[in-house]
Structure 1
Amino acid sequence: MPTNTHLPRTLFIHCPGSSISSGEVAAESTQRRNKVRIRCLILKLEELKDLADYAIGQARSAGASYAEARIHGASGNESLLKNGEPEPAVLVESFGIGVRVLAKGALGFSATNSLDRRSVKQLTVGTVKMAKSAGALLKKPLVFDASKPVKKKWKAEEKQKIEGGDVKWLGSLLREIDGRLTIEEVGVKLPGRFLTAEASLEEKYYVNSDGARVESRVPRVHFFGILTALENGETAQRMIQQGESGGLEVVERLDLVKRVEREAKTLGEVLRKATKPPEGTIDVVLSPELSGIAAHESVGHPQEADR
């Protein structure tokens, strides 16, 4: 499918002043500021709904037999801890629109974060032209079935609102995890500890020329860590990645603090008990996580022609 993407780098706002240590007190409630940011995301999405409808109209006027547009907004906070010391917090906000059309039996797709009518019209008309050009090369035109259009609103369940996941809350979570990674707790020295935690909200508005309209709200909590263990001059490293859609209760549902602690203890066991593999040609049994990444890199990427 032909694509045309006008997406400058996502806006990452690094805020050194937002790295709050346990002894600091913010002048203004960070949770309140976070709620304001999330609210702004929702309000902006509401304002941009007309832009999606406008894109559909422009696509049909340009000759598309079918068109769909998706407004996509995301807002998030991320805290980082490196060897027990806070790094600058990261605040992320991004908005964009994606347009897909069917013209002359071919599909075309474009996206931009220039959210004004002039830019969206230019993008949409260009997408239709691109699809028409591709259609001339097809032996068999693409067609969609006559599915009934859907009008729905849906959201991922959250018991504890994601708005509470400000940089202060995330930093507190990381300090709790880091506090369990001492040699007394896990039985091995961990000189390298890189921990990050993120709380984010993703909102989408989808509309197509058949009359479908779908709105979604998906909060997420994500943790990533790299632990490096050292014992008797030998090192072992482990990357930990955990996350789910949902509210702040995800941390308890994943049993995150104890999970990271268990991973650290396993590193110690690896250093003390692991033996060198035999030399020569041998059979290798891969764990599920290794077989998954092997298939991803060796099969998935080549099929996408990006390797």
Structure 2
Amino acid sequence: MKRREFMQLSGLSLGALALPSGLVMGREVSAEQLLQPGADVAFKKQLADIALNAARSKGATYTDVRIGRYLQQYIFTRETQVQNVTNAESYGVGIRVMANGTWGFAATSDVTPDGIATCAATAVAIAKANSKIQTEPVVLAPQKGVGEVSWKTPLTKNAFEIPVKEKIDLLMNVNGEALKYGAAFVTSNLFFVNEQKYFASTDGSYIDQDIHRIWPTFTVTAIDKAAGKFKTRDAISSPMGMGYEYLDGLASEKIPGPNGLVGYRNSYDMIEDATMAAKQTKEKMTAKSVTPGKYDLVLDPNHLGLTIHESVGHPLELDRVLGYEANYAGTSFATLDKWKSGTFNYGSKLVNIVADKTQPYTLGTVGYDDEGVPCKEWDLIKDGILVNYQAIRDQAAIIGEKESHGCCYADNWNSVQFQRMPNVSLRPGTEKRSVLDMIKGVEKGIYIIGRGSYSIDQQRYNFQFGGQLFYEIKNGELVGMLDDVAYQSNTQEFWNSCAQLCDKDDYRTFGSFFDGKGQPSQVSAVSHGSATTRFNGVNVINTGRKI
């Protein structure tokens, strides 16, 4: 799959009878098979030691082994029909080694002592072959072994233990309520992922992790047959690193907004959101088309998360900065000379953006990355100044770091791990401020909710973003819905226009469940947090006008 397709899928409902290639990994199994226990930790340690010893005997100076069991359940519905239920399991071993200062990698689904020993020998042979064309040896940041440890996503309801019928009943209720309130079409979907990963390395780490992710989503469509028009609204949900408790309404409070609009934090009422979506798509039919010009934009976290992802998360991936991604996904305007200057204004002084893999319930949060590095939080942009990138063990020395940032990831046991985006989030404001407080200070503006279409250039600089819902602000009040809205800017100009932030009480996350990167392409899941934020004097265009 192309990266563009992955990013589209991260915001669109997938009402298809067959899943696109790349989203399902492994063999089809029954829902009951997903609940079968995997290998116990003691047995996985024995297998890992076989890999470590076999690689060492063949000349490896460093080895890590990942034993992975990856489970997926995806459910798709449309109106009154169940379109597809997919259950998949993938199980195998990936072994990465260093020999002669060069990486080698091999993987196998033959999870036996002989299969693993053969795989380790293959990885070393590949490293030695690669070393013949290696110009500089790989330099790994030191990492002290952590011994035998474990980490698990905090959850109270394992989504795989909830009967499929109960999940389908939820989606049928979602569809029914949307149709009841005026939707002509509705698709709804549930995505569940469980990664059971065991990591071991010659550094002395033996790490067992059990990671869960969930994403409920839908698309509602309203039609005006007389006018020949249709409007849609996607779910205002966020994928989360949680269990099924995300959908039971008990995990956390709702965040009230203006005009009865609701945000969700750590819990999500899918039926309520679908009901609102049906009403709002009908309202969009008669919404006033926006007049192009300069506006102050008040951006909801469910919208701003995508802008953060594209204009901060990706350009501050060190491998992209160094040109490793140029052939596939482009480079970055945030070059090393800008970082070295120590004075590059990425944004206004209000802009403080952090990378982390520790925030509870987010998609990128784990205990340890796929190099066995304990996860942490670090600054990317401090008081508007570019101060760091995202780096893993073989990149840290390039930017003078003494240790990895702990953001290495592989999407499956047969994929080689590499630098992936951690959670990248905008810190909320320190002054007490609600969304209504912010709107009161805007004379001419637009309040934008939800992610829509977008475009950004290969250096992550010039961009255009749309949304799901748009409300006109005049003299401090919301005066009605708008349509055909998109804003254009460049990354530095946009973040320097950041003028005001709501406080931590409004902080919420957005997420991308299928973010693509690399050749061969891999997917990862990542969250982006923020509070509602205002940007002054941003150029808005009308996307509905014919040229």
- TM value normalised by structure 1: 0.75
Take 1:63 and 1:167, find their aligned partners in 2: how far apart are those partners?
49
- Partner letter of residue 172 of structure 1? D
Take 1:239 and 1:12, find their aligned partners in 2: how far apart are those partners?
30
Take 1:12 and 1:274, find their aligned partners in 2: how far apart are those partners?
49
SS at match of 2:284: helix
Equivalent pairs: percent with the same residue?
22
> What is the aligned counterpart of 1:254 among 268, 271, 277?
268
- On the 8 A contact 1:70/1:99 being kept in 2, the answer is yes
Matches within 5 A, 1:6-85: 10-13=25-28, 34=32, 37-40=34-37, 42-43=38-39, 47-85=43-81
Match of 1:306 in 2: 328
Match of 2:210 in 1: 217
Take 2:39 and 2:171, find their aligned partners in 1: how far apart are those partners?
31
> What is the aligned counterpart of 2:144 among 145, 148, 164?
148
Matches within 5 A, 1:216-255: 216-231=209-224, 232-240=227-235, 242-251=238-247, 252=249, 253-255=267-269
> What is the aligned counterpart of 2:307 among 291, 294, 298?
291
2:286 equivalent to 1:272: yes
Q: In the TM superposition, what whole-angstrom CA distance separates every residue of 1:117-172 from its partner, at most 9, and x where no partner exists? A: 44433332222122223334344322334432113111111122334323122112
> What is the aligned counterpart of 2:99 among 92, 99, 103?
103
SS at match of 1:181: helix
Higher helix share: 1
Alignment CA distance shift 1:239-1:53 (3 Å)? farther
Take 2:54 and 2:64, find their aligned partners in 1: how far apart are those partners?
11
Take 1:107 and 1:87, find their aligned partners in 2: how far apart are those partners?
44
Take 2:312 and 2:114, find their aligned partners in 1: how far apart are those partners?
40
- Partner letter of residue 69 of structure 1? V
Take 1:46 and 1:229, find their aligned partners in 2: how far apart are those partners?
55
Displacement of 1:243: 2.1
Displacement of 1:116: 3.4
SS at match of 1:244: coil
5+ residue gaps, structure 2, are 1-21, 250-266, 330-547
Take 1:39 and 1:98, find their aligned partners in 2: how far apart are those partners?
22
- On the 8 A contact 1:65/1:102 being kept in 2, the answer is yes
**Most deviating of 247-256 and 297-306:** 297-306
5+ residue gaps, structure 1, are 1-6, 16-32
Displacement of 1:292: 4.9
Alignment CA distance shift 1:224-1:135 (3 Å)? same
- TM value normalised by structure 2: 0.44
Q: In the TM superposition, what whole-angstrom CA distance separates every residue of 1:61-108 from its partner, at most 9, and x where no partner exists? A: 111101000111122333221122122321111112111111111222
Take 1:14 and 1:128, find their aligned partners in 2: how far apart are those partners?
34
Take 2:170 and 2:44, find their aligned partners in 1: how far apart are those partners?
35
Match of 2:483 in 1: none
- Partner letter of residue 307 of structure 2? S
Match of 1:89 in 2: 85
Take 1:49 and 1:260, find their aligned partners in 2: how far apart are those partners?
46
Matches within 5 A, 1:117-266: 117-150=113-146, 151-184=148-181, 189-231=182-224, 232-240=227-235, 242-251=238-247, 252=249, 253-266=267-280
Take 1:112 and 1:229, find their aligned partners in 2: how far apart are those partners?
49
- Partner letter of residue 165 of structure 1? I
- Partner letter of residue 195 of structure 2? E
- Partner letter of residue 119 of structure 2? L
- Across the aligned residues of Structure 1 and Structure 2, the Cα RMSD in angstroms comes to 3.3
Alignment CA distance shift 1:10-1:46 (3 Å)? farther
Displacement of 1:297: 12
Alignment CA distance shift 1:218-1:128 (3 Å)? same
Higher relative contact order (CA 8 A, sep 6+): 1
Alignment CA distance shift 1:156-1:239 (3 Å)? same
SS at match of 1:182: helix
- Partner letter of residue 224 of structure 1? T
- On the 8 A contact 2:102/2:130 being kept in 1, the answer is yes
SS at match of 2:238: strand
